[in-house]
Amino acid sequence: MNALAAQDVLRPGTPVDAEHRAAAVAVAPKLMVRGLAKRYGTAQALQPTDLDVAAGELLTVLGPSGSGKTTLLQLVCGLAEPTGGRLFIDGVDQTATPVHRRGIGVVFQTYALFPHLTVEENVSFPLEMRKLPAAELAAKVARALEMVGLGALGGRFPRELSGGQQQRVALARCLVYEPALILMDEPLGALDRKLRETMQIEIKRLHRDTGATIIFVTHDQDEALALSDRICLMNNARIEQVGTPREIYERPGSLFVAGFIGLSNVLHGRIQRPGLLATADGAFPLPERLRRSLPADRQGALVIRPEDVELVPGGDGAITGHVVETVYGGAETRLMVALPSGTVMTVRRSSRQGALQVGDRVSLRWDADRAHVLPA
């Protein structure tokens, strides 16, 4: 697919699939930042940062409070001025372009709807500011409201809508003028869990149907895994790792990533030949794919996800411990198992399996090739 074809496929309003989106990644980024940085006095809010976002991609910016994700969002949309670096949208340098000329749509956590305007009037507002002809404006508003499933509610006021419906109005208002880039700043943070999950599905559908380029900021790891084409995980005002949800979860690049995305069991020790990690609880085999590349006599950490640990009959496992806590979660139960050294491992098992009690002794085993090794 050439550059012209990729741009045509990924225009707003054109359905896209994974193959087309992947082709666009190889063509040219919709957003490109190079060395972008922000300092407030002596405080570095964002370290010099490089990042590409492909046309039609949904990139989630994830991280704890103070990690730099909101600062990055503010720099991209023009609400803050960088102290270094450049920013390009569709290949055009927009570093010094005012916020209202960047062609960027923003969806906020607080919806920011006008309470005295109806749903239709809220959605039409961006088009009125652009002085679109009345007939074209009406058609675009109707199409945007149908897209978010609110075609019959155009005459209502925001106070007459549920939280989820108000969020859909905010999405429609952003989509209606087909911005070059859509930024969503924790837009689901004010919703309850069930409504959040419903809106996640809606956002995925809208992204698939429109082909819009979206940067979605959140602190919710599950939300990032559910929504993203790729995740940009930030920590200490810099990017820690960028990758697909599967790459981030199964191949974390650091102990911070392993601990922040999902639950991880971490066994610290020293790498020994042939292919072992010696820990306070014994020596455990390293993944086959890494045994030749890992230097011996170095500190390392073995990372095992809870779903990869299984309970086996007493004495048959790699290690034995005792249950110190159980957490019932409906379909699954989490067991916290203390090892002889005091390290606690988490195990996920089906709630249909036999119940275990605090104090029960158990043996644990895992497939070495499902584990991951990181520098300590």
Task: Yes or no: say if 61 and 185 are a contact pair by the CB < 8 Å rule.
Answer: no
The two structure tokens encoding residue 141: 């508003």
Q: What value does the mean pLDDT take over residues 245-249? A: 94
Q: pLDDT digit string (tens) for 141-165?
A: 998 898 888 888 999 999 999 888 8
Which among 348, 257, 273, 268 is positioned nearest to 302, based on CA atoms? 268
Task: Yes or no: say if 64 and 248 are a contact pair by the CB < 8 Å rule.
Answer: no
DSSP code for 289: G
Considering Cα of 246, then 248, then 253, then 258, what sign does the dihedral take? negative
Kindly give, in sequence order, each residue whose CB lies less than 8 Å from that of residue 57, ignoring residues fewer than 6 positions away. 21, 24, 25, 30, 213, 214, 229, 230
The values of phi and psi at residue 263, to 5°, are -95, 140
Predicted pLDDT at 278: 92
Q: Report the C-alpha gap between 360 and 347 in whole angstroms.
A: 14
b vs e for 13-24, b when ≥16 Cβ sit within 10 Å of the residue's Cβ? Answer: eeebeeebbebb
Q: What domains can you pick out in the chain, each with its CATH number?
A: 3-103+179-255 (3.40.50.300), 263-309+319-375 (2.40.50.140)
Predicted pLDDT at 27: 60
**Cα Rg of the chain, angstroms:** 24
Q: What value does the mean pLDDT take over residues 319-337? A: 92
Kindly give, in sequence order, each residue whose CB lies less than 8 Å from that of residue 151, ignoring residues fewer than 6 positions away. 142, 145
Predicted pLDDT at 21: 47
11-15, 155-159, 328-332: segment of lowest average pLDDT? 11-15
Predicted pLDDT at 183: 93
Predicted pLDDT at 129: 87
Q: pLDDT digit string (tens) for 27-79?
A: 679 999 999 999 999 999 999 999 999 999 999 999 998 899 999 999 999 99
pLDDT, mean over the chain:
87
Scan for tokens 């981030």, then name that residue. Answer: 248
Q: What value does the mean pLDDT take over residues 346-368? A: 89
For the cut 80, the answer to whether the pLDDT of residue 169 exceeds it is: yes
Helices (H), the chain: 3-9, 18-27, 69-77, 119-129, 134-147, 163-175, 193-210, 221-227, 245-250, 255-260
Q: What percent of the chain has pLDDT over 90?
A: 57
Predicted pLDDT at 342: 94
For the cut 90, the answer to whether the pLDDT of residue 103 exceeds it is: no
Q: pLDDT digit string (tens) for 339-352?
A: 999 999 999 988 88
Predicted pLDDT at 8: 43
Is residue 168 helix, strand or coil?
helix
For the cut 70, the answer to whether the pLDDT of residue 252 exceeds it is: yes
Considering Cα of 170, then 175, then 180, then 183, what sign does the dihedral take? positive
- pTM of the predicted model as reported, rounded to 2 decimal places: 0.83
For the cut 50, the answer to whether the pLDDT of residue 2 exceeds it is: no
Q: pLDDT digit string (tens) for 266-316?
A: 999 999 877 889 999 999 998 888 777 777 788 999 999 999 999 987 666
18-27, 128-137, 193-202: segment of lowest average pLDDT? 18-27
Predicted pLDDT at 77: 92
Q: What percent of the chain has pLDDT over 70?
A: 92
Q: Report the C-alpha gap between 76 and 70 in whole angstroms.
A: 10
Kindly give, in sequence order, each residue whose CB lies less than 8 Å from that of residue 100, ignoring residues fewer than 6 positions away. none
